[in-house]
Structure 1
Amino acid sequence: MSKKESSILIAGGGSTYTPSLVIMLLEGRERFPVRKIKFYDNDEKRQEIVAKACEIIISERAPEIEFEYSIDPKSAFSDVDIVMAQLRVGKYAMREQDEKIPFKHNVVGQETCGPGGLAYGLRSIGPILEMVDYMEEYSPNAWLLNYSNPAAVVAESTRRFRPNSKIINICDMPVCLEDIMARVIGLKDRKSFETTYFGLNHFGWWTSIKDHEGNDLMPLISKHVKKYGYTEQTQKGQHKETSWLETMFAAKELHEIEPEFLSNTYLKYYLMSDSTVDHANKEYTRANEIIDGREKFVFNECTRIINEGTAKDTTFASNEHASFITDLACALTFNTKERMILIVENNGAIENFDSDAMVELPCIVGKDGYEVLSIGKIPTFQKGLMEQQIASEKLAVDAWEQGSYQKLWQAFTMNKTVPSTQVAKAILDEMLLVNEPYWPTLK
């Protein structure tokens, strides 16, 4: 019996991650057959460059797969089984504002953490909900797999405003870190072991890592982290820019405050905010690194492929970002019951935490969706940090829903990266001006 062939829509077709995702789909089509790949984006010119290059890649490697791209929702979202969403509302110009405005006030500037993450969240809510509605209108049986940041705020908004929709919110950072953990102890990749993890998106901890024979790997990994953080002594890994190497190394200090668990690197921005600001290049942030690095590389390579009419020697390759979302699509389609870390409603999985909080936990994924694995009670330190962060995220969604300046000021103030109400207000007022085209009117 032949396997089902799926139709995939990549929403955010002009993303710099799109070529790697296409290559992953082509490389994995034996286990996850694909009959059609579609792109959708509201930036026609940007998408066209990526799409024309990917069209050549597909025609050379898998000519049997249909390919099309569109800026029309009906055309894009019709006849689709899986929507892979990777939106960046405001693109890198707005990410630069998310990072640089907080830095002006000696607050962490980051795309998903602190005021920058909340600002980005308010830009993202409306477009994500719009995509869910397009999917439900034109392909009501499809799943939407959301990679769009900031995943925590987006997940809270989909829980609140589209509670019955077939949407799964995901993040590839745990996947990236697990692959690093595997490599530093001499294993092939993250699929060489099984993990237990809890927290919020970009705000969590591993409590157990065991190989498939049940051997505890935490001591070996902890030994490396105590010395090097999550930095590797190789060139492998997804992130190599200076800011990411610094973030990976910061896991060494995070391990000192919580030696029993292994921390997600993003906790650096909350627990080491002063040193993060002190050591940051406030004029040349992560956004600038990407504009001058990945952004330039991807569009130069796409243009070269188009001009030469071939992708036979392309340097585009699949990566952790592409691997994780493809694994998830495969699990949903073929009921593989794979264990994956997803962003889900708590509903008692963490016994001593808010039931309606959107948390990041291990789940078993099959054709009917996912089953969240119970974690039990979590320690006071982690619980307290998570409660403050979830309150900040919920207040931000309240602000979007109610058009409330006051709620967003409270959200900024509640965030652990911000030292005072007045600093929160100063950042908010600057954010308000640059986000005017994207945010709802706040009163």
Structure 2
Amino acid sequence: MSKKLKVVTIGGGSSYTPELLEGFIKRYDELPITELWLVDVEAGKEKQDIIFDLCLRMVEHAGVPIAIYKTLNRREALVDADFVTTQLRVGQLKARELDERIPLSQGYLGQETNGAGGLFKGLRTIPVIFDIIKDVEEICPNAWVINFTNPAGMVTEAVFRHTNFKKFIGVCNIPVGMKMFIQDVLKVKPEDELNIDLFGLNHLVFIRDVLVNGESRFAELLDGVASGTLKPSGVKNIFDLPFSEGLIRSLNLLPCSYLLYYFKPKEMLAIEMGEFYKGGARATVVQQVEKQLFELYKDPNLDVKPKELELRGGAYYSDAACEVISAIYNDKQTEHYVNFPHKGHIDNIPADWAIEMTCTIGRDGATPSPRIKHFDEKVLGLVYTIKGFEIAASEAALSGQFNDVLLALNLSPLIHSDKDAERLARDMLLAHEALLPNFAGTIAGLK
């Protein structure tokens, strides 16, 4: 294979980077990375330095010849890159805290990929991803960009709707967690062939069939989840509430945990409001976890990924990302669950949508599974609603116009009043002013 394999990780100072590197180390025989570059911004330099030192120790401990570099100069890092991974957070966790607290202070769900919080994370993130893509097109046009920056669905939609860049795949850990749950409860052995028919949008996916060695095991899985004898593993940043038996049986689908926000909005909001009134928000918890992680990372004797990282809420991101990179690099033609444009493969949604579904990945990227030709009609209304929100959000991120922000907010099923949407839009634009250069003119008019 190629003598050099260079990966550039943008957001290299993230607390997730040790997990990503662990994934690369585990797969070194099939993915012989020669260079891993960690890129960050000035505000993330201290964390980047700590992560860099830990990565050096991890590589030395593992005995693999991966050269680790760090830089604040993205363009320098991108020269001759084969893969670029994006795991950035514009404004870091302080911005996430505003995304959660401002909506909650007005009686609305505060969450980093849904509703008002998800919208504003997208408004900050999409222009930065576009800048990265421009640099990639100029400096390393043959590189693949593997994105696991949230909101991944909105970001993927924006890239394929508003740029001509094709070598972009959005990755999420939610389907990986669902797959691991299925492997566990169905006692799938490593030599078994497991196929999962998963479809929808990012953080809005459903499983409609599970095949083990070609035989459907979906009925027993659905029955176990519906009756409560099998308990799906949620994600760390979502409160653990079971879906009702009636919902699971009537849908005849297995929803991902993020669908709690749409099927249990009253309960989810009540829980979040209770935490908020006690002075808490998920971002506050994450900042504490991250602080503890970086104290651990500083330990000169630590030379592996610490177990505590799993508390952070992004477990299995590395497996998703590393597996996708390996599938492309080795032309594996293996099954994955990613965000990409289906280009008309699904017959009952618009051909230009970016979606999340089961696909096969090889050197040419993602090809949709031939087993899934259309989305289940029962959930099509919700899928259309959320996709309308994502499309409006991506338009707003580029236009910088107040009315485009308002439209996106009003299209979200989690916002219940047009007047509240105006107040939320105004308050959040003002709060995030420093991170929304596209909106400079709009924000000046609000003051």
1:386-425 correspondence runs (5 A): 386-425=383-422
Query: What is aligned with 1:16?
Result: 15
C-alpha contact (below 8 Å) 1:398/1:404 kept by paired residues: no
SS of aligned partner of 2:28: coil
Structure 1 regions of 5+ residues with no counterpart?
A: none
Give the direction of change, closer, same or farther, for the CA distance of 1:363–1:37 in structure 2 (3 Å limit): same
Which residue number in structure 1 is paired with residue 226 of structure 2?
226
Q: Quick one: distance in 1 between partners of 2:138 and 2:390? A: 29
CA deviation vs aligned residue, 1:126-152 (integer Å, no higher than 9, x gap)? 111111122222222111101111012
Q: Using the alignment, how far apart are the partners of 1:134 and 1:171 within structure 2? A: 24
**Matched letter for residue 60 of structure 1:** H
Q: CA deviation at 1:115?
A: 0.9
Alignment of 1:43-442 (within 5 A): 43-187=44-188, 193-212=194-213, 214-228=214-228, 231=231, 239=235, 241=236, 244=238, 246-247=239-240, 249-252=241-244, 255-256=247-248, 258-280=250-272, 281-282=275-276, 283-293=279-289, 295-305=290-300, 308=301, 311=303, 315=307, 320-374=316-370, 375-439=372-436, 440-441=438-439
User: Any idea what the Cα deviations from partners look like across 1:283-307, whole Å, max 9, x if unmatched?
Assistant: 31221221122x12320121113xx
CA contact (8 A) 1:388 1:414 kept: yes
3-state SS of 2:36 partner: strand
> C-alpha distance in 1, partners of 2:395/2:245?
34
State the 1:85 CA deviation.
Answer: 1.0
Contact 2:127 2:397 in 1 (8 A): no
Alpha-carbon separation, structure 2, partners of 1:79 and 1:100: 42
Is the 1:179–1:189 Cα contact (8 Å) retained in structure 2?
no
Residues 327, 361 of structure 2: 8 Å contact kept: yes
1:87 aligns to what SS in structure 2?
A: coil
For the aligned residue pairs, the C-alpha RMSD in angstroms reads 2.4
Runs of 5+ unmatched residues, structure 2: 443-447
Is contact 2:147-2:169 (8 Å) kept? yes
Q: Secondary structure at the match of 2:197?
A: strand
Seen in structure 2, the aligned counterparts of structure 1 residues 25 and 220 have a Cα distance that, compared at 3 Å, is: same
Partner Cα separation in structure 1 for residue 396 and residue 373 of structure 2: 32
Between the aligned residues of both structures, percent identity stands at 24
Matched residue SS, 1:196: strand
Indicate the SS of the match to 1:197.
strand
**In the aligned structure 2, how far is the partner of 1:31 from the partner of 1:322?**
15
Q: For the residues of structure 2 that align with 1:90 and 1:191, how far apart are their CA atoms?
A: 44
Whichever residue aligns with residue 292 of structure 1, its letter is: Q
Stretch moving more, 218-227 or 169-178: 218-227
Q: What whole-Å deviation, never above 9, does each CA across 1:318-344 have from its counterpart, x for those lacking one? A: 952111111100111111001111212
Matching residue of 2:445: none
CA distance in structure 1 between the partners assigned to 2:246 and 2:330 by the alignment: 39
CA distance in 2: counterparts of 1:389 and 1:151, whole angstroms: 13
C-alpha distance in 2 between matches for 1:11 and 1:254: 44
- Give the distance between the partners of 2:246 and 2:119, measured in 1 at CA: 23
Q: Which amino acid aligns with 1:48?
A: D
Question: In 1, are the aligned partners of 2:50 and 2:294 still within 8 Å (CA)?
Answer: yes
TM-score computed with the length of structure 2 as normaliser: 0.89
Deviation at 1:26, TM superposition (A): 0.7
Letter matched to residue 23 of structure 1: E
Equivalent in the alignment of 1:35: 34
CA separation of 1:327/1:44 partners in 2, compared to 1, >3 Å: closer, same or farther? same
Equivalent pairs counted in the alignment come to 429
Contact 2:222 2:248 in 1 (8 A): no
Distance in 2 between residues matched to 1:329 and 1:393, nearest whole Å? 26
Residue 161 of structure 1 and its aligned partner are, at CA, apart by 2.6
How far is the alpha carbon of 1:253 from its aligned partner?
5.9
Are the structure 2 counterparts of residues 342 and 63 from structure 1 closer, same or farther at C-alpha, using a change threshold of 3 Å? closer
Q: Contact (CA 8 Å) 1:11, 1:85: kept in 2 or not?
A: yes
2:227–2:245 Cα contact (<8 Å) kept:
no
Structure 2 contact 251–378 (Cα < 8 Å) conserved: no
Matches of 1:108 and 1:230, distance apart in 2: 28
Compared with structure 1, are the counterparts of its residues 119 and 250 closer, same or farther at alpha carbon in structure 2 (3 Å cutoff)?
A: farther
Indicate conservation of the 8 Å contact 2:81/2:143, yes or no.
Answer: yes
C-alpha deviation, 1:29, in angstroms: 0.5
Between the aligned partners of 1:58 and 1:88, the Cα distance in structure 2 is 25
More divergent stretch after superposition (186-195 vs 274-283): 186-195
Give the conservation status (yes or no) of the 8 Å contact 1:334–1:367: yes
Q: Distance in 2 between matches of 1:372 and 1:17?
A: 29
